[in-house]
Structure 1
Amino acid sequence: MKIFAAEFIKSCVTPEQFPSGQLHEIAFVGRSNVGKSSLINSLLNRRDLAKVSRTPGKTRAVNVFLISTSDPALSQFHLVDLPGYGFAKVSKSVRTQWGPLLEDYLVDRAPLLGVVMLVDSRVVTDQDRQTIAWLRSIRRNPLVVATKVDKLKPSERVRTLRQTHRALGLAEGEMLIPYSSVTGDGRERVWGALRDVAGSLRKDLA
Structure 2
Amino acid sequence: MVDTMKILTAEFIRSCVGPEQFPNGGLPEIAFVGRSNVGKSSLINSLLQRKSLAKVSRTPGKTRAVNVFSVVTGDVQLARFMIVDLPGYGYAKVSKSIRAQWGPLLEAYLTDREEVRIVVLLVESRVPAAQDRATIEWLLSIGHLPVVVATKVDKLKPSERVAGLRRLGAELGLDDRLPVIAYSSTTGEGRDRLWTVLKERTRI
Which consecutive segments of 4 or more residues in structure 1 shift more than 4 A? none
* CA distance in structure 1 between the aligned counterparts of 2:135 and 2:58, rounded to whole angstroms: 24
Does 2:57 match 1:53?
yes
Deviations 1:30-82 (Å, cap 9, x if unpaired)? 00000110000000000000000000001000000000001112100010000
Does 2:35 match 1:31?
yes
* CA distance in structure 1 between the aligned counterparts of 2:192 and 2:186, rounded to whole angstroms: 14
Note the 1:178-193 alignment, pairs <5 A: 178-193=182-197
Does 2:117 match 1:113?
yes
* CA distance in structure 1 between the aligned counterparts of 2:182 and 2:9, rounded to whole angstroms: 25
Which residue is equivalent to 1:130?
Answer: 134
Report which stretch shifted further, 31-40 or 170-179.
Answer: 170-179
Please tell me whether the aligned partners of residues 148 and 178 of structure 2 are also in contact (alpha carbons under 8 angstroms): no
Note the 1:132-147 alignment, pairs <5 A: 132-147=136-151
- Aligned-residue sequence identity (percent) comes to 66
Note the 1:31-180 alignment, pairs <5 A: 31-172=35-176, 174-180=178-184
Does 2:20 match 1:22?
no
Matched residue SS, 2:52: coil
TM-score, normalised to structure 1, is 0.95
* CA distance in structure 1 between the aligned counterparts of 2:176 and 2:162, rounded to whole angstroms: 15
Matched residue SS, 1:7: strand
* CA distance in structure 1 between the aligned counterparts of 2:177 and 2:7, rounded to whole angstroms: 30
Q: 1:7 aligns with which of 4, 11, 20?
A: 11
Q: Please tell me the root mean square deviation across aligned C-alpha atoms, in Å.
A: 0.9
State the 1:173 CA deviation: 6.3
* CA distance in structure 2 between the aligned counterparts of 1:138 and 1:65, rounded to whole angstroms: 24
Deviations 1:94-128 (Å, cap 9, x if unpaired)? 00000000000000101111000000001111100
Q: Which structure 1 residue ranges, 5 or more long, are not aligned?
A: none
Please tell me whether the aligned partners of residues 147 and 178 of structure 2 are also in contact (alpha carbons under 8 angstroms): no
Q: Which structure 2 residue ranges, 5 or more long, are not aligned?
A: none
How many residue pairs end up in the alignment?
200
Matched residue SS, 2:187: coil
Matched residue SS, 1:19: coil
